[in-house]
Structure 1
Amino acid sequence: MLWFVGMGLAGAGSIPADAKNVIEQAEMVYLEGFTSIVTESDERALEEMAGGKIIPARRWMVEDGKEILDNARTKKVVLVSYGDPYTATTHIELRTRAAELNIPTGSIHAASILASAVGECGLHHYKMGRTATVTRDPRAASTPYRIIYENLVSGSHTVLLLEYDQDGGFFLDPGDALGLLIEYEKEQRRGVITDELFAVIASRIGMKGQSIVAGRISSLKGYDFGAPPHAVIIPGGLHFTESEALSASAKCLDAPSDNSERMPSIPQQMVKKYVPMVRDAMKTIEALEDNPPEYGHVLENAGHYLRDAEEFMGKGEGELAVLSVGYADGLVDALRMARGIDRVQ
């Protein structure tokens, strides 16, 4: 049998009583330490529970899974991990493979950083959007950047997990994580990650020395957040009760601010940009002499499409708004090409 056991956020001291019983009765106990830091004192405490040596489970061992699954066929095996066992997709995949091999599995859940950090900051769980991971590789910044943007547009909060390299003893600093996103913003120029963006740095949640610091990125630059583990939360739309709770629970370098208020959707950005451009092109064509009579009908229809786009946008129907702008632009573009007018970008 294969048990998946979570240690929670405070290490071995926060292991549930049921989990202790499972560990004590286990024939083999693997300790996974690649998703977050596990201290030597936690290892010693687990060894005492298990009544023997704990087997370190490196990332490759859990991803490969062969040794763990082979032993679980005939022995009672436990895989212990920081937080909740199923926060890591690697563990879920291992459980799936065990089920396919008809190896019985069991689960003992514990506190996860995804839930605990949000609650400690006073934010509402039902407003959480997709989670993302920030790594030290600048090329990987596109995914968290896109997820932050999508969450902000919908008014949702984003939890950013930071890269941890067990073998190298490396934990990405929150300031460096925000710096990577700022650098990526310079390429995108969509106004997602700016100095005015309000962020929350949750450090050592559930441990001694817990710290929550919040403020605009401009205020967080150069701040010493202390030892890991850390998580970064980018709030979306803030209810007034969230702002009050955040002010009470965190060291706020700036007053909490709603990041979603200033974040237009892609349709809003497109309509704002292209409607004036199409209207200017229409005026240019209207000012020409000797336009055929049918040009007036085409321009009139283009004008209707632009008004439709603005009405759709007002109703929150962004896709229809973009389509309407596209139809108007296509009509005007055809007239422009017919008269040999260069397109103004």
Structure 2
Amino acid sequence: MAICSTGSVAFIFLQFFSSTPSQLFAGQLLNGCIIAFYPTCASAYVGEVCPLALRGFAASMTNLASLLANSLPLASSKLCKKGRYDEAEKSIRRLATPGIDPSLKLAHVKETLRLEDAFKSDNAPSILDCFRGPNLRRLIICVMAYDIQEFTGNILFIDYAVYFFELAGLDTSEAFSMNLCLTAIGFVGTCLSWWVVSFVGRRSAYLWGCGTLSIFCFIIATLDFAPTATHAATWAQCSLMLICNFVYDITIGPYCFVLLAEVSSARLRGMTIGLATVTCHVVSIVLAVAIPYAMNEDQGNWRGKIGFLFAGLGALSTAYCFFCLPETRGRTFEELDVLFERKVSSRKFHDYEINGAVAASEELR
């Protein structure tokens, strides 16, 4: 993350001092490649260092902002793998509360690594392992959890909000003011999600989030049939955009990163999250190119009717969540490994009983 931050600063300078469109494009492209590493690294890092009680809260914060890399200690598990035990103990001391014994925690990390080495095969993890057995199911869940962010219209009420407000009938100053409100409401929603994530399950949040956004996008699209001079319809559309952003930032937005950290296996976490990130960015690029043409009055002239597209995709996403998205809240990584190994139905994850971590370890053996 420190290397990515340094590279991003350099490429931002390239964008700032660019004198031709090609230089600007090169700076944006290179900076985009660097930024793509942040969600992958952050979600994997959370899964490695956070205890169960803080895992959901910490992972959801990825939705608010990228963390400062130089303020984060290295993961103790990574340091132990390299034999740097003194540094690992210092890392644990920085992360833990005063009541935690760092040496005891370090011993636990060492034993966990020893068990992992005993369980895994002689070959090093391969990206192909993500497409085999239970890991394929985990990969698909992570990919869909990420892509559903795009399918439910976040690009519409985040990236193209100002343009949408202007097409709806607001003047430039009103559109800018509404965009400020959009950002503020999104911030409030994300902050509330830190509390909500401890009480509302991942599956429930996705189901309600997808379903609600699908309905609101349908209403936004329907209101676009009203005459352009109807100010009530215009303000109704814009207000629903604000509500959509709030719903997104309290459900799908932060919960996505929680699922990435929990669903991916410890051995393949980085690769799984990386593949999910790549697919999400591919979908994002396609929509970023297509949506402006579809909305533009000189091209597709869909205007607010673009909501029908996201209403349909949102409905399909809701169906996927109902049948395929498991509930991971309150489960340890060992329990999740057992559930995936036993091929438990996603709808039964919440009620499936496992007799503690001992049973989980025995199952993996």
What is the TM-score when the length of structure 2 is the normalising length? 0.20
Q: Give the structure with higher Rg (CA).
A: 1
Tell me: higher relative CO, structure 1 or 2? Use CA pairs within 8 A at least 6 residues apart: 2
Per residue, is there more helix in 1 or in 2?
2
Per residue, is there more strand in 1 or in 2?
1
